[in-house]
Copies of this chain bind each other. A is one copy, B any other.
């Protein structure tokens, strides 16, 4: 760029040596004398030389950047995942390029396109709520683009996957509701298209059946937009709560759904847990503070980001084609909360 114009040639000219000597000196090649190295290093520092990553990429055939595709960055869970990804990527000298699908299949396709055009070395992706067809990803994968799926994964593409233990998290969470005496438990969850929805639903079902509690199918509500659409959740809640035989507890299956449900319950004048119990997957401090009386299910977001990125970078940097793929399941943490919180102050 014009504003960062110091190149290897400038150093070469300055010292009266060749560009290739400078290049070698800068990477501490054994071919170059100590004296020259010292002079080059000094000069590079003095002129504030920075290698041009474009030129390096062009030469080396890689870009040292990773593409990230999430539904939205405005979500505590994904924000934490991205933080984990950044931490590993930066430590290994990779950059990340973040894109959002806003839960749209079309945007997912065009973002993936955008990223590969921009020449990424690998892709970290959590599928959008809408996505059913994986053609766009299969094609890239077949061409050799390393891909790691996280959170919302698919088994249709042979590669690494990192997920939280959604099944166990849902199972334990449901159990804790049952232990607390609740029986009429409703489950508000995401789109049926994505992998995690099934896992959580199955955990819920197992806990219920182990306790000989039949699942009322009217009490299972899907939210196609995953909590981003307030109306969708409002509708689900209305249907659940506007009946004489309404649930005595809600189990919400995603960060946004939990937060939104909490908001709506407050708005509707329901006290928690006196009027209705609420337990949900959440990575927002919010739910725990507003809802101190019950457990919540915390997803290992930062760890997930780290793990996925480590796996991706190892895929990228492995010399030979990888044939063994791993599905890593990280433990979900069910936080059992103590309802005896001190109330600090006089009103």
CA A231 – CA B63 in complex, angstroms? 41
Cβ of B289 and Cβ of A266 under 8 Å apart? yes
Q: Give every chain B residue within 8 A of A144 (Cβ-Cβ).
A: 2-3
CA A259 – CA B285 in complex, angstroms? 11
User: Chain A, 109-132, contact with B by CB distance < 8 Å: what is the 0/1 string?
Assistant: 000001011110100000000000
Count of chain A residues near B, Cβ 8 A? 64
Q: How many identical chains are in the complex? A: 2
Q: Give every chain B residue within 8 A of A80 (Cβ-Cβ).
A: 74
User: Chain A, 49-70, contact with B by CB distance < 8 Å: what is the 0/1 string?
Assistant: 0111111011001110100000
Looking at the complex, which one of B118, B143, B290 makes contact with A263 (CB distance below 8 Å)?
B290
Q: Give residues of chain A (138-153) contacting chain B, Cβ–Cβ below 8 Å.
A: 140, 143-145
Q: Give residues of chain A (22-74) contacting chain B, Cβ–Cβ below 8 Å.
A: 50-55, 57-58, 61-63, 65, 72-74
Q: Give every chain B residue within 8 A of A65 (Cβ-Cβ).
A: 118
- The verdict on A238 contacting chain B, using a C-beta distance below 8 Å, is yes
Q: Give every chain B residue within 8 A of A53 (Cβ-Cβ).
A: 117-119
- The verdict on A345 contacting chain B, using a C-beta distance below 8 Å, is yes
Extra inter-chain contacts (8) besides given A54-B119, A270-B347, CB under 8 Å: A2-B144, A3-B140, A73-B73, A73-B98, A95-B118, A259-B286, A267-B290, A269-B343
- The verdict on A155 contacting chain B, using a C-beta distance below 8 Å, is no
User: Chain A, 252-295, contact with B by CB distance < 8 Å: what is the 0/1 string?
Assistant: 00000001000110111110000100000000011001101000
Cβ of A145 and Cβ of B3 under 8 Å apart? yes
CA A242 – CA B341 in complex, angstroms? 17
- The verdict on A241 contacting chain B, using a C-beta distance below 8 Å, is yes
| Least distance between A230 CB and chain B CB atoms (Å) | 7
Cβ of A345 and Cβ of B242 under 8 Å apart? yes
| Least distance between A116 CB and chain B CB atoms (Å) | 6
| Least distance between A339 CB and chain B CB atoms (Å) | 12
| Least distance between A244 CB and chain B CB atoms (Å) | 9
Cβ of A72 and Cβ of B63 under 8 Å apart? no
- The verdict on A137 contacting chain B, using a C-beta distance below 8 Å, is no
- The verdict on A180 contacting chain B, using a C-beta distance below 8 Å, is no
Q: Give every chain B residue within 8 A of A90 (Cβ-Cβ).
A: 114
| Least distance between A182 CB and chain B CB atoms (Å) | 16
Q: Kindly report which residue of chain B lies nearest to residue A5, judged by CB atoms.
A: B143
Cβ of B143 and Cβ of A114 under 8 Å apart? no
Q: Kindly report which residue of chain B lies nearest to residue A102, judged by CB atoms.
A: B83
Cβ of B143 and Cβ of A3 under 8 Å apart? yes
- The verdict on A79 contacting chain B, using a C-beta distance below 8 Å, is yes
16 contacts between A and B (CB under 8 A): A1-B119, A2-B144, A3-B143, A3-B144, A50-B117, A52-B58, A54-B58, A73-B82, A74-B74, A74-B79, A95-B114, A242-B345, A259-B286, A264-B289, A266-B289, A268-B345
CA A289 – CA B121 in complex, angstroms? 43
- The verdict on A76 contacting chain B, using a C-beta distance below 8 Å, is yes
